[in-house]
Structure 1
Amino acid sequence: MTTVREPKAEQATHELQRKLSNRHLQLIAIGGAIGTGLFMGSGKTISLAGPSILLIYMIIGGMFFFLMRALGEILLSNLHYKSFIDMAHDLIGPAAGYYIGWSYWLGWVLVGIADLAAIINYLNFWLPPDMAFTPIGQALISAGCVLLVLGLNLLTVKLFGEIEFWFALIKILAILGLIVIGGFMVFSHFQAPQGSIASFSNVWSHGGMFPKGASGFLAGFQIALFAFVGVELIGTMAAEAKDPEKNLPKAVNAIPTRIILFYVLALFIVMSVTPWNEIPADQSPFVSLFLHAGIGGAAVIMNLVVLSSVMSSMNSGVFSTSRMLYGLSLGGQAPKGLGELSSRAVPAKGLLFSCLFIMAGAALQYFVPNTVEAFTLASSLCVILFISIWGLIMVCYLRYRKLRPELHAQSKFKMPGGVWMSYVVLIFLFFTLIILSLEPDTLRALIISPVWLIILTITYRVLYLPRVKKRMLAQQLDN
C-alpha cells in the first residue's frame, strides 16, 4: 500500500506523533489484559463453568499469544501501517480494511456501553440493600463518565499514556495484593463468618473441576473471551509508540506471564478462599472474596479498584475508536473531518463522534435497568465483532506470508508455528462462534449480528466505491 508522504514540517501537525514510551506501552498492554471482563464478567463465568474457568483462560490465553505474535510480525514488517485498517487494506483489500475499521470502532463502542453497565453495578455497592439508582440516575451517571473520558482524551496522547499507566499500575498492584492476602488466608486456614475455611481444596471439592459438565465449560467461553478484548490494543498504538521494533515484541512476549498471573493464579486464589458455588454471579469475585471473609474495608478498596478498571477500559476504548476513525478517514472510508488532528495531534472530531455513540449507552441504562442483563447483551455483541476482527488479523498474516515472503525471511520477530498455527487459531475462533449459539442470550446477539454486515455492505457500495471510482477517473484524466 503506498502512502503519500507530506513534507516534514507539516507532518508534525498532520500525523499521529510517537509519544508513547516503553513504560506506557508495557503497562497499557498489561492493562488491556485486565479489563471489565475479568473484574466483573468472571463472576458470571464462574457461576456457569465453575473451576474449569481456569482451563478456559489458559486455552484462550494460548491462542491470543499466537494471534498477537502474528500481529506483531506484520506491524514490524511495515512501520507505515498505522493500524489494522492499513494492514487489512494492503494485504486483503479495501473491503477488508473498511470492515475491520468500522467493526473495531463499533466493538469498542459496545465495550464502552458494557462498561457503563459495570460502573452502575459497582456504584450500587455503596447503596443500602433495599436501594438502587433510578433509571434516570443511571443514565446521568453514564453520561457524566463519558464526558470525563472525552475530556481526558482531548488533551495529548502522552497524557493518555500517563493516565493509562497509573490505571494499569493500580490494577496490577490490586491483583498482586489480592493474591498475597488470599494466599495468607489459605495458609492460615482462615474461617469466614459463613463457616467455610480457606483451602486450595475448595477449588475442586465442590463438584470437581467440571461441576457443570461440558455444557457449563463451553458456556464459560463467551464472557471469558470478552475479558480478552483489548489485548490487541497495542496494534492500534503502533503509530504512536516510540521505538516499536524494541518495545512491541516486549509487550507481546509478556502475554503468557500476564495470563497465568492475572487470570489463572488470581482466580485460583479467589476460589480457594471463597468456594466457587458461593460467589455471586452479579458481583465481582474480587470484591466478594473480601465480603465473604467479612473484611468490609478491603472490599471497599477493591471495589474502588474495579471501578477504576472500568474507567480505564472506557478510556482505552475511546482512544482506540478515534484512531480507527482517523485511519478510515485517511483511506477515504470515513468522513474527511474525522481524520483531522487538533493542535495537540489528537483526532478530536473522531473522539467526539465515538463518544456521541457511547453516550447512547446511557439510554440503554434507562431501557435496560438490570445492569447484568445490559452488560451481557452489549458484551455478547462485542465478542462476535471481535471474533471476526481477530479472524481477519490471522487472514492478514496468511496473506502476508504468501505475498511478502522476503519480509518474513528478514523478520526478527517471527510468529511461532507460522502458517499452520494460524489455521489452528482460525479453527479455534470458528469454534467459539459455534459455542455462542448454545446459550439463549448469546444466540440472540449472534442472530442480530448479520444486520451490521448488511449495513457495512450497503455503505461500502453506496458511499465508498463511488468515491474510489471518481478518484481513479480523475487520475486517468491527469495522465
Structure 2
Amino acid sequence: MSEHIVPSTSPGLGGQLSRGLKGRQITMISIGGVIGAGLFVGSSNAIAAAGPAVLLSFLAAAALVVLCMQMLGEMAIANPDTGSFSTYADRALGRWAGFSIGWLYWWFYVLVIPIEAIVAGKVLGGMLAIPGWTVAFAVIVILAGTNLLSVRNYGEFEYWFALLKVIAIVGFIVLGVLAIFGWLPGSDVSGISHLWSDGGFMPNGAGAVVAGLLTAMFSFQGSEIVTIAAAESEEPKKNIKKAIRAVVWRLGLFYLGSIFIVVSLVPWNAEGLSSGSYQAVLERMNIPGVSGIMDVVVLVAVCSCLNSAIYTASRMAYSLAKRQDAPAALAATSKDMVPRNAVIASTAIGLVAVIANYLLPQMFNYLLASSGAIALMMYMVIAITQYATRRKARHEDHTLEVKMWAFPYLTLATIAFIAGVLVLMAVQPGHRLELWLSMGLAAIVVALGVRMQRKYGAHRPPTQDELVVNHRLAPSPAPEPQA
C-alpha cells in the first residue's frame, strides 16, 4: 500500500490546519454564531410585518435551524471536516453537489464581509466623525490580519465578541422581565398587554407571519459555523456534540426571549421601532445613554460577524482547494498552519465589494441580492445530504453517536418545508429579486460543477490526507512463510 501514497508536490501547498481552537472558544463561537446585528436592529422589520405573531415566525425559523443542525451534527460528529456540509454533499451526492454548495457558501460569506464592514463604518464613523469608508477598510484589514496570524487569534477575538453579545442580550432580557413585572424604577412600560391590545396578536393576518418568517430565517444564519471551526479544535467531536445540544436553548433564550420582551412592552406599530427594536424598548425604560450603548453593542455584533465571515469564507475556499475544486494555491498554509492565500483572496474580494458600495451602490445591491437565498439552499443541501448518507449506510446506523430524530420523516418534512419557503419567496414581492438572482447564480455554479464531474469523474481523486489515512488503516500484509 505504501507505493500509493502521493507526496505533496510543493512545500506549504495543501498543508494541514492547526488544532489551535480551545474548547471555551468553540463554545462561544457556537453561542455567538446566531447573534448578529440582525437581532439587535433587523428584527424590527419582522415585527413591523407580523406584529406580535412574529413570535410564530421566529419559532418556525428556529425549529428549522434546530432540525438542520441535528442533521449536520450527525454527519459532522461522525466525520469532522473543515468543509463541513460541502464535503458531506461531495461524498453523498457527487462532486457537483459539494463543488456547488461550497462555492455558493463561500460567495455568501465573502459578501457578509462588506455588509458588516459598512455597518461598522456607519456606527464608528458617526461616533468619531470620520468617513465611514475609512473605518470599513480599517476594520476589514485589522480582522483579516488577526486571522492571518493564527486560528487561535480568530478564536480569541470571537470569544470576547460573543461574550459581550451574550452579556448584552442577557442584560436586556433581565431588564425586560423587571419591566414586565413593574419592578424597574423609572420605566414607562410594564406588563404584556401589547401582545393583543394593538389590533390583536396577528394584526396583519397569517400571510404577514409568513413574511416575517422569511426575515427570521436569515437572522439565524451562522449556526453551522461551529462544525467548520470544530475541525480546528483539539476535540472536534466533543465540541460539535456540545454545540448541537446547546442550539435549542440558545435560539430559545436569545431570539424568542428577547423578541417576546420587545412585542410585550412596545406596540408593534410604534414610532421609532424601525430604528431598532432593542433601542425602542430601552428608551421607554428610560435607561440612560441608550443610543451610545446600542452603538457599542451593534459595533461588537458586526465585528463578530465580519471576523467569522473572513474565517468561514477562507476555510471553505481551503476545503474546496484540498478537494481539487478550487485553485491549489488556496490550500497553501503558513508556518502557523493558517490558509493564508484563502484568507487574503476572500478578504480582497470583500474589500472590492466595499468599494463597489460607495462607487456603484446599485451594483452592490444586486450582488447582495444574489446571495439572498443561499442560506436556504445550504439548509436544503444539509437535509438532502443527510438523507442520502443514511440511506447509503443504513446498516451502520448503530455506530452513529448523534442521530437525526424520527428519520426519515423529519428529514423529509424539513426538505418539504424549505421548498415551501422558496416558493413563498417567489410570490413575495420583496424577496423575488433575491430568489431569482440567487437561483441564477446557483444554476451557473451547478452547471460548472456538473461539467467538472463529467470531465474528471463523479468522485474526485483522493487527497494526500485520505491516502495516508487509508494506508494506516489498511491491513498489514501476511508474513511470508519461513523456508
TM over 0.5: yes
Supply the AA of the counterpart residue of 1:251. A
Return the offset for 1:188: 2.3
For residues 124 and 171 of structure 2, what CA distance do their matches in structure 1 show? 22
Q: TM-score, normalised by structure 2?
A: 0.86
Shift of the 34–266 alpha-carbon distance from structure 1 to 2, 3 Å rule, reads: same
**Aligned-partner SS, 2:341:** helix
Contact 2:353 2:364 in 1 (8 A): no
The corresponding residue for 2:373 is 384
1:259 aligns with 2:251: yes
**Aligned-partner SS, 1:276:** coil
Deviations 1:407-462 (A, max 9, x none): 32211211111211101111111111122123323111112223312432454466
1:304 aligns with 2:304: no
The corresponding residue for 2:18 is 17
1:426 aligns with 2:420: no
**Aligned-partner SS, 2:275:** coil
For residues 443 and 280 of structure 1, what CA distance do their matches in structure 2 show? 28
For residues 94 and 451 of structure 2, what CA distance do their matches in structure 1 show? 17
For residues 118 and 225 of structure 1, what CA distance do their matches in structure 2 show? 20
Matches within 5 A, 1:458-469: 459-460=448-449, 466=455
Please give the root-mean-square deviation of Cα atoms over the aligned residues, in Å: 3.1
Shift of the 21–4 alpha-carbon distance from structure 1 to 2, 3 Å rule, reads: farther
Return the offset for 1:45: 1.2
Count of residue correspondences: 456
Contact 2:13 2:332 in 1 (8 A): no
Matches within 5 A, 1:169-180: 169-180=163-174
Matches within 5 A, 1:31-42: 31-42=32-43
Q: Which runs of 5+ in 2 are unaligned?
A: 462-483
Contact 2:96 2:452 in 1 (8 A): no
The corresponding residue for 1:163 is 157
1:404 aligns with 2:421: no
Return the offset for 1:357: 1.6
The corresponding residue for 2:136 is 142
For residues 4 and 240 of structure 1, what CA distance do their matches in structure 2 show? 24
**Aligned-partner SS, 1:440:** coil
For residues 292 and 123 of structure 1, what CA distance do their matches in structure 2 show? 25
Contact 1:82 1:238 in 2 (8 A): no
Shift of the 427–464 alpha-carbon distance from structure 1 to 2, 3 Å rule, reads: closer
Query: Kindly, what percent of the aligned residue pairs are identical?
Result: 29
The corresponding residue for 1:268 is 260
Larger deviation, residues 236-245 vs 308-317: 236-245
Matches within 5 A, 1:42-441: 42-79=43-80, 82-123=83-124, 126=127, 137-188=131-182, 197-278=189-270, 280=272, 282-366=274-358, 381-441=370-430
Deviations 1:274-299 (A, max 9, x none): 32222646422122322344434143
Shift of the 313–426 alpha-carbon distance from structure 1 to 2, 3 Å rule, reads: same
For residues 211 and 236 of structure 2, what CA distance do their matches in structure 1 show? 38
Shift of the 116–186 alpha-carbon distance from structure 1 to 2, 3 Å rule, reads: same
For residues 7 and 139 of structure 2, what CA distance do their matches in structure 1 show? 37
**Aligned-partner SS, 2:224:** helix
For residues 39 and 398 of structure 1, what CA distance do their matches in structure 2 show? 35
Larger deviation, residues 285-294 vs 243-252: 285-294
Deviations 1:363-411 (A, max 9, x none): 34325779xx978x77654340111111111111111111112332211
Return the offset for 1:222: 2.1
Whose Rg is larger?
Answer: 2
Match of 1:456 among 445, 457, 482: 445
Larger deviation, residues 302-311 vs 443-452: 443-452
For residues 222 and 121 of structure 1, what CA distance do their matches in structure 2 show? 26
**Aligned-partner SS, 2:289:** helix
Contact 1:174 1:305 in 2 (8 A): yes
For residues 23 and 122 of structure 2, what CA distance do their matches in structure 1 show? 34
Contact 2:13 2:333 in 1 (8 A): no
For residues 300 and 421 of structure 1, what CA distance do their matches in structure 2 show? 45
Return the offset for 1:44: 1.2
For residues 455 and 350 of structure 2, what CA distance do their matches in structure 1 show? 30
Return the offset for 1:318: 0.9
Supply the AA of the counterpart residue of 2:115. A
For residues 16 and 453 of structure 1, what CA distance do their matches in structure 2 show? 29
Contact 1:190 1:197 in 2 (8 A): no
